[in-house]
């Protein structure tokens, strides 16, 4: 796209509270007659109302009620639903990912607003990228909800395999801040409510666990509120584990620092949050954690045409300390930023960000919450929950959305929770999996549905004979196993057990078959492995 108009073009990257409110404030300036062109680039076409995202788990509100189409919120803004690929500050150009046709897509800017927020990043935590559920966007919330229902569906028919059933009925959330507490509260309410529709399940087998590294949850609020929240959660059946850190994850367990392992198929991690990776490559001043340093005017250091706000920026408050990463701060920053872009165009005075915060609130699910109001007033329980609902309902963008949420909340008072398990996306093709020592990749007698390739670490192949197990082989990087599944044999002939922390690629049978049929080299390398294993003593895998 070329930059044809003579107007000043402001390009905003990111559609969270920071980016959307910056555009909203700039639209007001346009309505007042400013000659601005506003472009917003976001990878989704909707804005997520983050405070209500945990409610998607339980379906208290409709699946789409928590999001608003950006086009409806911002009628004067040109929305590009794309990922940002790169930013060239000198050429004043943003390059986005391709759409249906893979040609390069460039957006020129006069002013650039960086509102890219934070991303989940599990680097340094073994197995979390592969096996933990993040909880940041609508897709995450829907995926978690569907997975939880699937776990219940499966637990109700796995009656002969107690260890699997207990794994399926254990739900672990890591992180005791607002986000983790809201997620565990909704998850716990939901699981225990819908379990009543599963007559084959024993509710006493359900475990919901919250892992927190500190001595009390909710470090954001006063100790009395944290204690209130802890009591509520525990009374409802959540096991709260203090001074406990998550160290690794596999498809079968959450592994804690110190070595304890909690068998589970559902691990949610709300903890690791990093600035957007695009910022790394930008030649702009950054603070610790890689966030961009902003002036009190919301400009990036040393630039008059690059602005930043929200969670990706370090914005000083009046006392010099950085703004916390909350919606109320981002929206106030947006107003100052929009004013300053207009002022800088006219050569007028810039405003300085100055906002102290109005209070803090967190929902505890099922008609309870904690809140710290302005003036240090602390509220908890039903009253706090009522305040929480009312404030957020009025903050929801658009009266249509408010009406929908109010109507969902009303129906929720007397209807049971939704338990439809939506299958999203289906099979994932080539998957990366992480295994910890002692864990079985598969067991003798299991159905053979996928093939594995060891990338790092090691495993051993064991076979039962005369009541004892004997070791057949050791597998290391570059070794294939599980390939017998491709010959029409349907059950595994041996058990493969992880020896050292192992990363493996796994391919479903269908995917592997189509690749092998079309890649002669791959098929040949595979046939060699099978040939070698046919000699009984070396026979490994299944």
**286 bridge partner residues:** 292
CA 18 to CA 25: how far, in whole Å? 11
- With helix as H, strand as E and coil as C, how does 244-304 read? CCEEEECCCEEEECCCCEEECCEEEECCCEEECHHHHCCCCCECHHHCEEECCCCEECCCC
Closest CA to 138 of 54, 226, 251, 211: 54
Strands, DSSP E only, in 257-350? 261-263, 266-269, 273-275, 292-293, 306-308, 313-314
Min separation Cβ 179 and a copy of itself, Å: 22
Measured over all CA atoms, what is the biggest interatomic distance in the chain, rounded to whole angstroms? Answer: 88
CA 141 to CA 294: how far, in whole Å? 31
CA 79 to CA 71: how far, in whole Å? 7
Nearer Cβ to a copy of itself (147/351): 147
Beta-strand pair 253-256/246-249: antiparallel
258 CB-near residues (< 8 Å, 6+ apart):
none
Across the chain, how many H-helices and E-strands are there?
Answer: 14, 30
3-state secondary structure of 345: helix
CA 493 to CA 462: how far, in whole Å? 9
Nearer Cβ to a copy of itself (48/225): 48
CA dihedral 60, 63, 65, 66 (to 10 degrees): 90
Query: Residue 340: in which H helix or E strand, if any?
Result: helix 327-346
Min separation Cβ 505 and a copy of itself, Å: 6
Min separation Cβ 14 and a copy of itself, Å: 17
DSSP conformation class of 491: B
Min separation Cβ 434 and a copy of itself, Å: 14
**491 bridge partner residues:** 447
3-state secondary structure of 314: strand
Nearer Cβ to a copy of itself (400/437): 400
Residue 515, CA atoms < 13 Å, CB-side half-sphere: 14
Nearer Cβ to a copy of itself (106/215): 106
Min separation Cβ 157 and a copy of itself, Å: 5
Min separation Cβ 198 and a copy of itself, Å: 7
Min separation Cβ 473 and a copy of itself, Å: 19
Nearer Cβ to a copy of itself (240/507): 507
Min separation Cβ 498 and a copy of itself, Å: 16
Nearer Cβ to a copy of itself (9/339): 9
Nearer Cβ to a copy of itself (178/442): 442
3-state secondary structure of 413: helix
CA 277 to CA 118: how far, in whole Å? 9
3-state secondary structure of 239: strand
Nearer Cβ to a copy of itself (81/373): 81
Min separation Cβ 452 and a copy of itself, Å: 11
Min separation Cβ 364 and a copy of itself, Å: 25
Nearer Cβ to a copy of itself (149/370): 149
């Amino acid at each position: 796209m070329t930059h044809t108009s003579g107007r000043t073009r402001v390009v905003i990257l990111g559609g969270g509270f920071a980016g959307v409110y910056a555009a909203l404030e700039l639209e007001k300036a346009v309505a007042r007659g400013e000659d601005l062109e506003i472009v917003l680039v976001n990878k989704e076409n909707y804005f997520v109302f983050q405070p209500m995202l945990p409610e998607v788990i339980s379906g208290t509100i409709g699946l789409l009620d928590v999001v608003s189409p950006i086009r409806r919120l911002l009628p004067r803004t040109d929305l590009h639903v794309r990922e940002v690929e790169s930013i060239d500050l000198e050429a004043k150009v943003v390059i986005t990912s391709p759409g249906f046709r893979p040609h390069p897509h460039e957006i020129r800017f006069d002013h650039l607003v960086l509102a890219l927020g934070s991303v989940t990043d599990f680097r340094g935590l073994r197995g979390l990228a592969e096996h933990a559920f993040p909880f940041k966007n609508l897709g995450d919330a829907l995926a978690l909800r569907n997975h939880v229902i699937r776990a219940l569906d499966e637990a109700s028919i796995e009656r002969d395999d107690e260890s699997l059933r207990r794994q399926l009925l254990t739900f672990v959330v890591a992180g005791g801040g607002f986000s983790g507490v809201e997620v565990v509260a909704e998850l716990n309410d939901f699981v225990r409510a819908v379990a009543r529709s599963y007559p084959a399940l024993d509710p006493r087998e359900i475990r919901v666990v919250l892992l927190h590294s500190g001595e009390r949850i909710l470090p954001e609020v006063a100790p009395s509120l944290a204690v209130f929240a802890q009591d509520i959660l525990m009374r409802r059946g959540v096991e709260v584990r203090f001074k406990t850190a998550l160290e690794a994850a596999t498809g079968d367990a959450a592994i804690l620092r110190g070595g304890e392992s909690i068998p589970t198929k559902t691990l949610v991690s709300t903890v690791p949050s990093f600035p957007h990776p695009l910022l790394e490559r930008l030649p702009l001043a950054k603070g610790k954690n890689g966030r961009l340093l902003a002036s009190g005017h919301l400009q990036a250091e040393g630039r008059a045409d690059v602005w930043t706000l929200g969670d990706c920026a370090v914005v000083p408050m009046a006392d010099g300390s950085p703004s916390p990463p909350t919606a109320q701060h981002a929206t106030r920053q947006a107003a100052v930023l929009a004013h300053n872009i207009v002022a800088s165009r006219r050569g007028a005075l810039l405003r300085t960000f100055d906002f102290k915060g109005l209070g803090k609130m967190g929902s505890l699910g099922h008609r309870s919450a904690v809140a710290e109001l302005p003036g240090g007033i602390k509220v908890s329980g039903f009253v706090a929950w009522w305040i929480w609902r009312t404030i957020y309902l009025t903050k929801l963008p658009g009266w249509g959305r408010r009406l929908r949420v109010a109507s969902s909340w009303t129906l929720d008072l007397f209807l049971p929770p939704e338990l439809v398990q939506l299958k999203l996306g289906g099979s994932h093709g080539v998957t990366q999996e992480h295994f910890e020592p002692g864990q079985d990749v598969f067991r003798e007698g299991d159905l053979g549905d996928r093939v594995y390739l060891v990338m790092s670490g090691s495993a051993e192949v064991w076979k039962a004979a005369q009541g004892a197990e004997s070791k057949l082989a050791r597998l290391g990087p570059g070794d294939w196993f599980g390939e017998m599944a491709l010959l029409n044999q349907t059950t595994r002939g041996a058990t493969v057990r992880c020896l050292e922390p192992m990363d493996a690629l796994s391919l479903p049978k269908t995917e592997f078959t189509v690749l092998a049929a079309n890649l002669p080299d791959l098929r040949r390398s595979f046939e060699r492995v099978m040939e070698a294993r046919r000699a009984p003593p070396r026979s490994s895998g299944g």
